[in-house]
Amino acid sequence: MTEELTDREIRLKRFKIQSWRRGTKEMDLLLGPFADGPLRDLDDMALDAFEALLHENDNDLYIWTSAGGEPDRHTEILNQVRAFHRID
């Protein structure tokens, strides 16, 4: 008997794969563990923000995550990623 996945579960699995297969190892290591952990506890609005983040260029994401200066639309979700990794 197969168990059907909910739309949310499918979305989370897709985000995990996209987070671990970014193109740069640095972003794999920043987004992958976040996707494996606290991502599942985010509400739908935060998941939308994470999905938008996944569409950004890895070089920009790395700079924004490590040094800040990200566009306002990504501030909240990047703050959650930074807090998860204890990046000040």
- Residue 77: what pLDDT? 97
Q: Is the pLDDT of residue 76 over 60?
A: yes
Q: Would the pTM count as exceeding 0.85?
A: yes
DSSP 8-state code for residue 55 = T
**Mean pLDDT, the chain, integer:** 94
Q: What residues contact residue 37 under an 8 Å CB cut-off, 6+ apart?
A: 84
81 Rama class: left (phi>0) / alpha (psi -120 to 50) / beta:
alpha
pLDDT band at 84 (very low <50, low <70, confident <90, very high): very high
Average pLDDT over residues 36-40: 96
List the structure tokens of 83.
């807090």
Q: Is the pLDDT of residue 1 over 60?
A: no
Question: In 3-state terms, what secondary structure has residue 20?
Answer: helix
